[in-house]
Amino acid sequence: MSETVVKLSDAAIRRQILADFWFYFRQNRGAVVGMWVFLGLVVLAVFAQVIAPHDPTQQYRDALLTPPFWQEGGRIEFLLGTDAVGRDMLSRLIHGAQYSLFIGVVVVSIALVGGIFVGLLAGFFGGWVDTVIMRIMDVILAFPSLLLALVLVAVLGPGLTNAMIAIAIVYQPHFARLTRAAVMGEKEREYVTAARVAGAGTMRLMFKTILPNCLAPLIVQATLSFSSAVLDSAALGFLGMGAQPPASEWGTMLAEAREFILRAWWVVTLPGLAILISVLAINLMGDGLRDALDPKLKRS
Amino acid sequence: MALLTIKNLTVRFATSTGAFTAVDGVDISVSPREVLAIVGESGSGKSVAMLAVMGLLPDTATVTADELIYDGHNLLTMSEAELRKLIGREITMIFQEPVASLNPSFTVGFQIEEVLRFNLGMNRKTAFARAVELFNAVGISEPETKLKAYPHQMSGGQCQRVMIAIAIASNPRLLIADEPTTALDVTIQRQILDLLMDLQEKHGMALILITHDMGVVAETADRVVVQYKGRKMEEADVLTLFENPQNSYTRALLSALPENATGDRLPTVADFMAAEAKP
Amino acid sequence: MIKFVFSKLMYLVPTFLGITIIAFGFVRILPGDPVLLMAGERGISPERHAELSALLGFDRPLWVQYFDFLGRLLQGDLGNSLVTNKPVMTEFLTLFPATVELGLVAILIATLIGVPVGVLAAIKRGSWFDQVSMTAALVGFSMPIFWWGLLLIIFFSGILGWTPVSGRISLMYYFPDVTGFMLIDSLLSGQKGAFASAISHLILPSVVLATIPLAVIARQTRSAMLEVLGEDYVRTARAKGMSPARVVGVHALRNAMIPVITTIGLQVGVLMAGAILTETIFSWPGIGKWMIDSISRRDYPVVQSGLLLIAGLVMVVNLLVDLTYGLINPRIRHK
């Protein structure tokens, strides 16, 4: 019985890679839990209009600062209580998921695309292009990210869009550095030389040949940046520089709640808890991703 | 009266894809002053077996044996503290990658004097003097200067000499050498081997030499154990093994030697096994 | 080694210039007239406008303004606050020690707890301690610290009444500012209960600020230790019959600490960002709070200079970390 070597099609190879990846990812229980929670959040965010029991901006004048339903004074129609102007906490929290996910996706997309582009240029061309680009990245990295984002927003004006742009700019150097390092590592390898000899042009070399092999660290950094973006935008919201009231962004909710910390614990605790759970879920997934994508680290 | 007796040694590793048996029911014994060569391909379990004896395997390994006796001491039932009185003193080991086997953050002098001070109770001055002696004995020139060097400042051959010096510092009765020359330059390999054999004779140590090089076996060993995929294939004294190998795997190994090559294609072990399988 | 130090120092200069350009550029990239912006909604008379423009140099070409700015910067002149009219440098130096005190205590807490936890988690890999501590670290690392601070205030100040809510020391104590560090000054003052008051004010903010660095350090230490414990030279140390305590504590730790010390140093940048939030919540009179207040009051000279000083500080710390790394990594120290 001889075994013939089966040549897999490209699609079959991709499926195999995915299956391998899933096998390793699954082994990390925390990562799987994180993934389910994250998917739950996505569902909440997408179907917020349908799921939320009330309109998040609707103020119920007769139910200011109502405690959650299990406490004395709580009402069943406001499961998690209401805030200082009578808005339902649960509905606001659910809509808050929309903000957080939106922010995460936008910030990471901008930072990723920009960072990859810049990193490819620097890594590929080397020389003075590399030096100049990396110096600029280093300068940005010298500023504590929140501070820089804060000043940027102060200059551009407070608001969600500006907050997202500011954070994305601040995260970009991380992606640029990673890409550049990966490109420099891959540039010297034989398969690149082979492609070049075969006549591949610069653009093709950059995007089709080298980039796919640098993806693993970028994906891990992307999840890290996603969770950081949620945290940083909440921080900006808390400082009054992010999404403005009456937006039901979790950080903004915390800013409004500050004066009630001793009187109404739920107005303060719940939004922060929502942030914590979301960020934790993403970080758990990120850990799992890193272990599954980096074969060196975890085996046996 | 054997110095080291191993009966039915089995080592299993817990891996993400299930249990892996690296050593499968191996029997080995070594007499005092004897040179035993354990030979086999990579993956035959020869290193793992010896690491198991020394207690140097990671927690993912399960070691079982019917007997694991050194000089009357039952290694299986001894406590960690008791084992540490033997390991590093009466039984020592040197490894394949000499530079990586030395701590990059400390001088080589620190690393050898550590053994002298902790295992032999010497004070600093005595330890230093003895270290110089040992360096001389292993052929390191300018020992006083070299003692202050860091491993990355020395060559592979020099580092292996340091490892040997550390290993003989406590006058061990058994020295286990795990592929000591594989990672070295061909020109240095000869020197290190000669040094090892020289020291073995001078100090009257038993030496277990793990190698995949049959040529080395022919030159140095008294007895030979052949291992393949975790199992012992054959055991014989060196002359018998070369002249009249009993096991087909042994014959395959011997026929794969470049010296035995006839024709234009060097036979591999797989070729030989396939040929033997045919009726 | 000398070459190493020299190249790191050389690297400082262009980065520092870059920082000054950004700090300088912030105010000027605002759309519209900067003087009008500073005047705010009040509006300004044309004569006053011309006066201010000339005073602040806005009527001159941009590159002249920049070199002017740079020149004054090198002499330590950062301009005056628009709100208090006092020199920015003076205000900075007054508030700086408060942040340093907070940051130092935070980093101390983070290191003294983080490193041992990381080492133990690595030694007992897979045990309940490992899993619990690393999960706790992940939670700490995922926490919005402004919320964490508020929670601790609710619990320790509100419910238990153990700690105060804000400030550095109880208002009933007054003593001269010798070092600017409340812990030291309160001891020096000799007043009864002053030191205790300083500590009780310091404890909650420093724990909050220490949370993220602690989590990061614990995780990094664990992974560095795990990597080192798998190295050949650790196996050699065991083969030499060294006790487990010595193998881990001397042979392994010495090498694992190299990347860990780098991590600790880099946390300073994280601390500065965290300080902004922590100082705001606890009304701690340091630079973080100063920056926030200045941003909302549009006190641009302060914002500009604050940015510069903080970034400069982070840069210097990063340089020190790099140099320290060169010192403790024997492969670089001994060429």
Q: Residue A300 pLDDT > 50, yes or no?
A: no
Lowest mean pLDDT across A252-256, B252-256, C324-328? B252-256
Lowest mean pLDDT across A16-30, A51-65, A127-141, C225-239? A16-30
**pLDDT (tens digit, 9 = 90+) per residue, B76-128?**
888 888 999 999 899 999 999 999 999 999 999 999 999 999 999 999 999 99
Cα atoms in the Cβ-side hemisphere of radius 13 Å centred on B11: 28
Of the two residues B58 and C110, the one the predictor is more confident about is C110
A141/A137 Cα distance (integer angstroms):
6
Is residue C233 less than 8 Å (CB to CB) from chain B? yes
Chain B's closest residue to C254, CA to CA, is B105
Is residue B159 less than 8 Å (CB to CB) from chain C? no
Q: Distances in Å between the alpha carbon of C190 and those of B49, C101, C164?
A: 68, 20, 22
B101 and C236: CB-CB below 8 Å? yes
Residue A53 preceded by cis peptide, ω within 30: no
pLDDT above 70: percentage of residues in chain A: 93
Q: Where are the domains of chain A?
A: 24-54+83-297
Is residue B14 less than 8 Å (CB to CB) from chain A? yes
The subunits that touch chain A, with at least 3 C-beta pairs less than 8 Å apart, are B, C
pLDDT above 90: percentage of residues in chain A: 16
C235 and B101: CB-CB below 8 Å? yes
Instruction: Compute the count of residue pairs across chains A and B with CB atoms less than 8 Å apart.
Output: 9
Residue for token digits 């991380």?
A174
Instruction: Compute the count of residue pairs across chains A and C with CB atoms less than 8 Å apart.
Output: 118
C205/B190 Cα distance (integer angstroms):
66
- Contact, C278 vs C149, CB < 8 A? yes
User: Across the strands, what pairs with B110?
Assistant: none
Is residue A20 less than 8 Å (CB to CB) from chain B? no
B209/B175 Cα distance (integer angstroms):
8
Q: How far off is chain A from B140, nearest CA to CA, in Å?
A: 37
Q: What is the fold of A24-54+83-297?
A: MetI-like fold (1.10.3720)
Q: How far off is chain B from A298, nearest CA to CA, in Å?
A: 9
Q: Report the pLDDT value the prediction gives residue C28, as an integer from 0 to 100.
A: 67
How many other C-beta atoms lie within 10 A of the C-beta of residue C244? 12
Q: Report the pLDDT value the prediction gives residue A2, as an integer from 0 to 100.
A: 46
Q: Taking the model in full, what pTM does it have?
A: 0.85
Nearest by CB to residue A154, choosing from C150, C295, C310, is C295
Burial-class residue B126 by CB neighbours within 10 Å (0-12, 13-18, 19+). middle
Mutation site for C-interface testing, chosen from B54, B97, B101 by largest number of C Cβ within 10 Å: B101
Distance of CA B66 to the CA centre of its chain: 22
**pLDDT (tens digit, 9 = 90+) per residue, B26-40?**
999 999 999 999 998
User: Across the strands, what pairs with B93?
Assistant: B176
Chain C residues with CB-CB distance to A235 below 8 A: 144, 146, 277
The subunits that touch chain B, with at least 3 C-beta pairs less than 8 Å apart, are A, C
Q: Report the pLDDT value the prediction gives residue A4, as an integer from 0 to 100.
A: 54
Is residue C124 less than 8 Å (CB to CB) from chain B? no
Chain B residues with CB-CB distance to C230 below 8 A: 58
The DSSP symbol for A8 reads P
Q: Report the pLDDT value the prediction gives residue C170, as an integer from 0 to 100.
A: 76
Distance of CA B113 to the CA centre of its chain: 22
Q: Report the pLDDT value the prediction gives residue B261, as an integer from 0 to 100.
A: 66
What is the residue-averaged pLDDT of chain A?
A: 82
Q: How confident is the prediction along chain C (335 residues), in pLDDT tens digits per residue?
A: 778 788 878 878 888 888 888 877 776 665 555 566 566 556 667 777 777 666 666 667 777 777 877 888 788 777 777 777 788 888 888 888 889 999 999 999 999 999 999 999 999 988 899 989 999 999 998 999 999 998 888 888 877 777 777 777 777 777 777 777 877 777 777 777 778 888 888 899 999 999 999 999 999 999 999 999 999 999 999 999 999 999 999 999 999 998 898 888 888 888 888 898 999 888 888 988 888 888 877 777 788 888 888 888 888 888 888 888 888 888 777 75
Q: How far off is chain A from C146, nearest CA to CA, in Å?
A: 7
Of the two residues C174 and B143, the one the predictor is more confident about is B143
Of the two residues C242 and A58, the one the predictor is more confident about is C242
Residues of C at the A interface, defined by Cβ within 8 angstroms = 14-15, 18-19, 22, 26, 29-30, 135, 138-139, 141-144, 146-148, 150-151, 153-154, 158, 269-270, 272-273, 276-277, 280, 291-292, 295-296, 298, 303, 307, 310-311, 314-315, 318
Q: How far off is chain A from C229, nearest CA to CA, in Å?
A: 13
Is residue A300 less than 8 Å (CB to CB) from chain B? yes
Q: Report the pLDDT value the prediction gives residue C30, as an integer from 0 to 100.
A: 58
Chain A's closest residue to C131, CA to CA, is A30
Alpha helical stretches, state H, B46-155: 46-54, 80-86, 108-118, 124-137, 143-146
Q: Distances in Å between the alpha carbon of C70 and those of A136, B174, C63, C78, C300?
A: 19, 72, 10, 9, 16
- Contact, A262 vs C158, CB < 8 A? yes
* Four-residue CA torsion sign, C268, C274, C275, C278: negative
Chain A residues with CB-CB distance to C295 below 8 A: 150-151, 154, 241
Q: How far off is chain A from B38, nearest CA to CA, in Å?
A: 27
Chain B residues with CB-CB distance to C251 below 8 A: 103, 106
Sorted by sequence, the CB contacts under 8 Å of residue A297 that are 6+ apart come out as: A290, A291
Q: Report the pLDDT value the prediction gives residue C56, as an integer from 0 to 100.
A: 65
Q: How far off is chain C from A138, nearest CA to CA, in Å?
A: 7
* Tokens coding B128: 């230093």
A142 and C303: CB-CB below 8 Å? no
Is residue C127 less than 8 Å (CB to CB) from chain B? no
Is residue B110 less than 8 Å (CB to CB) from chain C? no
- Contact, A111 vs A171, CB < 8 A? yes
Q: Report the pLDDT value the prediction gives residue C5, as an integer from 0 to 100.
A: 80
Mutation site for A-interface testing, chosen from B11, B16, B17, B62 by largest number of A Cβ within 10 Å: B16
Q: Report the pLDDT value the prediction gives residue B27, as an integer from 0 to 100.
A: 92
CA distance between the termini of chain C:
6
Q: How far off is chain C from A151, nearest CA to CA, in Å?
A: 7
**Interface ipTM:** 0.88
C57/C67 Cα distance (integer angstroms):
12
In terms of Cα–Cα distance, which of A208, A241, A226, A7 is closest to A111? A226
Lowest mean pLDDT across A251-265, B2-16, B222-236, C127-141? A251-265
A283 and C142: CB-CB below 8 Å? yes
Mutation site for C-interface testing, chosen from A93, A139, A258, A291 by largest number of C Cβ within 10 Å: A139
In terms of Cα–Cα distance, which of A117, A105, A258, A121 is closest to A168? A105
Nearest by CB to residue C307, choosing from A147, A235, A262, is A147
Chain A's closest residue to C29, CA to CA, is A155
Residue for token digits 């007043």?
C191
Chain B residues with CB-CB distance to C122 below 8 A: none
User: Across the strands, what pairs with B20?
Assistant: B13
Mutation site for C-interface testing, chosen from A93, A100, A153, A155 by largest number of C Cβ within 10 Å: A155
